[in-house]
Every structure is written in structure tokens, then in C-alpha cells.
Amino acid sequence: MSRQPVTRIEGLAAPFDVSNVDTDQIIPARFLRRPRDTQYGTYLFHDLRFDEAGQERPDFILNRPPFRQAAILVAARAFGVGSSREAAVYALQAYGIRAVVAETFGDIFFGNALKNGLLPVRLPLSTVNALRDAVAASPPARLAIDLEREELVAPDGAKHAFAVPAFARECLLQGQDEIGLTLSFLPQIEQFEARRHTPTV
């Protein structure tokens, strides 16, 4: 399946100083049967963003200008732990989040993010904390993430290297999922199969 290639992400960053964020916090289970339409972003962090009456909680970071326009979320550690729900990635993307920076991620969430074009950036906790403090202190602060170079540029210009698994990185850069990237090699695969089945004399 083709999608928009991910090469460089640059945008407003929001500090999200919460550790051990589970997928039920990212999107509560009661919304999982909802269609993936233009409203899907409203389910992101629903019970943290809204009170029981459905009103925005003014202290939640994504309800505060300018952070409600964030494209990059700077979290803490253990982001996306818990259940395997892929909808957690869908909700982040529908809201407009294109990358999440954290020390660690839940393994299944990390895989789901890469498969769906959301970039999870793993950096040392001290670096993540410094980035989060920087974007909180001087809003609106922007980060730039260069996937080709595997490099994040902080608001002060400092560069931080990160790593993405090679195959997933190639899929993101090409704008393909695993099947699409495999099919892009179809001519070579067919040539190999033809040679393999050619009788030898």
C-alpha cells in the first residue's frame, strides 16, 4: 500500500511530561468501534483532554495554545505500553501528530507506528527531558526530524542521532508498507523465479 513518504518532519512540538502512557489513555476502548473519519482525532487522549461533561480540561497540554497545533509530541518514557490496539496510532495521526519522541516505547506500539507512517524517535532520557523542557519554556518551539540522516534538530540547533530499524526506515522513506515495498521488487522476483525454474543441462 502506498502512502506519503516520510523523509523530514518539521513542526511545532508539544511537551507531554507523562511516563508509562498506555494505549487506553491514548484512545479509550469504548471508541475502538468508531469509524476512522474526520472525527477520529477527537478521541486522542479523550479522558485526559475532556471532563465528564465533554468540556476541555484547560490544564491539558494539547488544549493550550499553541500546543493544540502540535505535529511532534515530546513524551517521557514507556509511551504506548499496554494493549496492542493499532487505533492508538490512528488517533495520533488523525489529530495531526506525525512523530513522538520518547526514551522508550511499548514494543507493539512501536511496530504499529512504523507500519502506519507515524515516526517514533527513541533518544536517551536526559535528551528527551532537555527537549521537553526547551519546547515548554519557549513556545512555539519547533523540532526538525530528518529520517534520511536519522537526526533530530533541537530548537537551539543541537543535533541528536537516533536509529530506526533499516527495513522500516526504507518503507517510510519510500512511502510503502511491507507488501508494497516487496511488490516494488516484483520484476527482480519474477526474473529470479524464471531462472530458478529453468532446467539445467
pLDDT in tens, 156-170: 999 999 999 999 999
In the chain, the amino acid numbered 94 is A
The domains located in the chain, with CATH, are: 8-197 (3.20.19.10)
| Mean pLDDT across 141-151 | 97
* Cα(50)–Cα(39) distance, integer angstroms: 15
Residue range 35-60, pLDDT digits in tens = 988 899 999 999 999 999 999 999 99
Whether residue 187 has pLDDT greater than 80: no
The set of cell numbers assigned to 188 is 527482480
Spatial separation of the C-alpha atoms in residues 35 and 75, rounded to whole Å: 27
Q: What SS3 state is found at 85? A: coil
Q: What's the confidence (pLDDT) of residue 189? A: 74
Query: pTM here?
Result: 0.89
Q: To the nearest whole number, what is the mean pLDDT of the chain?
A: 92
Mean pLDDT of 15-23: 96
**Alpha-carbon torsion 180, 182, 164, 104, what sign?**
positive
Average pLDDT of span 149-158 = 97
